[in-house]
Structure 1
Amino acid sequence: MLKADNLMKDLERQAAGTLRALLEQVPAIKLLDIGHEALAPDHGVDIVAHVEVYGRRQALVCEVKSSGQPRHVRLALLHLRDIVANQAKDAAPVFIAPYLSPEAQALCREHDVGYLDLEGNARLAFGSVFIEREVASKPGVERRELRSIFKPKAAQVLRVMLRDPQRTWRVTELAEAAGVSLGHVSNVRVSLLGREWAQVSDAGLYLSEPDALLDEWRDAYEPPVGQRISFYTTLHGRSFEEAARRVMSSKRETVLLAMASFSAAHWLAPYGRTGTQYFYADDAGLEQLRSSLKLSSASKGENVTVTLLKDLGVFRDTVEPAPGATCTSPVQTYLDLAAAGERGREAADHLRQERLKWQK
């Protein structure tokens, strides 16, 4: 507890310093004092700054939190608004955290509360003063937390939920459907609720903001880890499609194999052909592809790319839009396309319009 208190005090000192630096950049603002000041017992305000603008005094009451996740932000904003309404009617409320995502910033604007984070994002409006600043960077902790949400085991949970975002899930049934432990589901649940991408009803957990989740996943996406091998085949067009569908139709249950990226998109939401065919496979799947598609090693001129996946969770969520055309799921295909350059992003946008539109 003492360590947590000390960390919070350090954060408040950083917040006060960041606020001071921001205010001092505006010539019209004269900073009179900044520090901790009691408005009333148990008021919950961490910092109060007194400023003067063209002879008019103004107080800024600031609440500092160690988390800028929307769920925590919403509670803090309501508390700040209550303080201003009942204890400091002429004060301007300000929320401060280490980092505020665009969603958290939008919440502050919605509640008419100023905000500031230690990365440099800020929006203060009081009297005749308006300050707004936006930076593109995210702190390392935030990037690590986001990456952890989309690690392979967590991704299995997300892909299951994104099949039908409005479906409700109990932790045990979601763990079974995703093939992961209860602990993995619980961690994902906490992250989703903290970012307000999910809500809990009497029936269980469901995705309330699937588009926001998918946007963040796309931006933080790292392709599945695996050995990427290039080949050349003399098969083209319909002959290639027929051979690929035959091999996937005839493969044993223990063989893992699926079309991926542009090849999967061709069956899910056709947008435009590409000169290269893409597959995910395990070792047995690769051998079947090699013989059935007449693949030969190629140092140049390759037209088939097979990725031997280290983690096989992607295969739990494959779809078959046509007999034998086993493809990665629409979500996985979308993510792979979005990471495949400008042409891939266009195909990804088309796929999303066709296959990933959800009712709210």
Structure 2
Amino acid sequence: MTEKEIEQKFKTEFKELFPRLKDATLISEYSLGREGKVDLALRLQKGREREILLCEIVAKGFPKQIREKGLQLLEMTGQGKKGYPVIIAPYITGLGKETCKKIGAGFLDLSGNAYLDFDSFYLEVEGKPNRYKSSDKLSGLFNPKGEKILRLYLLQEKDDLSLNYRQIAEEVSVSLGQISKVNKKLDELGLRIEKREGLKAIDKTKLLDLWRDKYRFERNRMLSFYSMKRIPEIEKEISELCRAKGIKYALTLFSGANRLAPFTRYNVATSYYSGDIEALKSDLELKEVPSGANLQIIIPYDEGVYYKAREVNSFMVANPIQTYLDLYNYKGRGREQAEFLRERIIRI
């Protein structure tokens, strides 16, 4: 949507979206004198007093754009002395809301969410779904190439600000252009933080939360098998077979988490596997079953799932970030195990 379209839609819908503003008077292109004018203003009558909401429209509710527009609005309004600064957008995310609060601005979005806090007036509406989803909002982040870069960022021991584009490209086998695209999107989302001398660090907590919520485990191909052996024996046989034949594998879900941060018992072994399935069935005497499986073999959607897999007691285990993502929306006690892993091992 263009800013003009957003403005028109807001003018026709704001009283229905926000009943507490039904008595507000809307003023287009409200003048602030020498400081210029804002896109629109809302005049509220509170008893004998009037309050002016000075509103600027943002076409894309990325934290970066909200911050820039919000700071500009604050400067124009004399740090709010001429009226309460408000951002209007099709949809404001949780990160966007946090940005508004930090700079001292409010917001109203066309999806029905709001945050206004001035004098004795308070309005907060949250949880309304995005009615104006853009297909390209997160493009470049959550695809196989983008995720390779995200894994590197999240798995760095410290915020290593010295890594340049070429080093990152060599480390995870992506193009320089892909890194630039990912970093630009992280900037827009407010997930890269200015540190020193123009260098930026990743807000790992927010990035992991965002990826967790967007992660789609079903992109993998899952095969279910039954073995007469017990879980520890199955996992050991897979490990020994893959080691002997040079096959890539990595335990994940509860099999992986049990070796990183044991939390709960489990009755199904699970492993990523990039070898011949028929040979595996024959070597381990497995039977493919529609239900009652005690072994799940995952054919990965991308080889990036093996990045920084670690050896734990002779078993290759998917890195903690990958294991966490796989577990978080998994059935049973997957989320509990995921959060325990995050608390004890990931710590972001």
TM-score, with length taken from structure 2: 0.89
Matched length: 345
Partner of 1:36, secondary structure, is strand
The equivalent of 2:316 in structure 1 is: 326
Q: Residues 139, 132 of structure 1: CA spacing in aligned structure 2 closer, same or farther, 3 A cutoff?
A: same
Deviations 1:30-64 (A, max 9, x none): 33342112223562511122232223222211111
Aligned partner of 2:234 among 230, 237, 240: 240
Matched, 1:305 2:296: yes
Q: Does the CA-based 8 Å contact 1:224-1:309 persist in structure 2?
A: no
The equivalent of 2:109 in structure 1 is: 117
Matched, 1:337 2:327: yes
The equivalent of 1:37 in structure 2 is: 30
Matched, 1:141 2:133: yes
Q: Distance in 2 between matches of 1:19 and 1:126?
A: 19
Aligned partner of 1:280 among 264, 272, 281: 272
Range with greater deviation from structure 2 (172-181 or 343-352): 172-181
Question: Structure 1: which 5+ runs fail to align?
Answer: 1-5
The equivalent of 1:84 in structure 2 is: 77
Matched, 1:352 2:342: yes
Q: Distance in 1 between matches of 2:122 and 2:139?
A: 35
Matched, 1:66 2:59: yes
Q: Residues 313, 224 of structure 1: CA spacing in aligned structure 2 closer, same or farther, 3 A cutoff?
A: farther
Partner amino acid, structure 2, of 1:333? T
Aligned partner of 1:11 among 6, 24, 45: 6
Matched, 1:294 2:285: yes
Deviations 1:70-90 (A, max 9, x none): 11211222122212217x734
Q: Distance in 1 between matches of 2:133 and 2:291?
A: 41
Partner amino acid, structure 1, of 2:125? R
Q: Does the CA-based 8 Å contact 1:265-1:333 persist in structure 2?
A: yes
Range with greater deviation from structure 2 (266-275 or 210-219): 266-275
The equivalent of 1:156 in structure 2 is: 148
Q: Residues 224, 202 of structure 1: CA spacing in aligned structure 2 closer, same or farther, 3 A cutoff?
A: farther
Q: Residues 190, 108 of structure 1: CA spacing in aligned structure 2 closer, same or farther, 3 A cutoff?
A: same
Q: Distance in 2 between matches of 1:299 and 1:155?
A: 31
Aligned partner of 1:213 among 202, 207, 216: 207
Q: Distance in 2 between matches of 1:34 and 1:240?
A: 71
Q: Distance in 1 between matches of 2:68 and 2:36?
A: 15
How far is the alpha carbon of 1:101 from its aligned partner? 1.2
Q: Does the CA-based 8 Å contact 1:93-1:114 persist in structure 2?
A: yes
Q: Distance in 1 between matches of 2:338 and 2:98?
A: 27
Q: Does the CA-based 8 Å contact 2:231-2:269 persist in structure 1?
A: no
Q: Distance in 1 between matches of 2:72 and 2:126?
A: 25
Q: Distance in 2 between matches of 1:288 and 1:236?
A: 20
Question: Structure 2: which 5+ runs fail to align?
Answer: none
TM-score, with length taken from structure 1: 0.86
Q: Residues 238, 53 of structure 1: CA spacing in aligned structure 2 closer, same or farther, 3 A cutoff?
A: closer
The equivalent of 2:122 in structure 1 is: 130
The equivalent of 1:260 in structure 2 is: 252
Partner amino acid, structure 1, of 2:182? V
Q: Distance in 2 between matches of 1:221 and 1:147?
A: 13
The equivalent of 2:166 in structure 1 is: 172
The equivalent of 1:93 in structure 2 is: 85
Q: Distance in 2 between matches of 1:297 and 1:342?
A: 22
Q: Distance in 2 between matches of 1:321 and 1:204?
A: 35
Q: Distance in 2 between matches of 1:151 and 1:220?
A: 11
The equivalent of 1:75 in structure 2 is: 68
How far is the alpha carbon of 1:347 from its aligned partner? 0.5
CA RMSD of aligned residues (A): 2.5
Between the aligned residues of both structures, percent identity stands at: 28
Q: Residues 229, 30 of structure 1: CA spacing in aligned structure 2 closer, same or farther, 3 A cutoff?
A: closer
Q: Residues 310, 214 of structure 1: CA spacing in aligned structure 2 closer, same or farther, 3 A cutoff?
A: closer
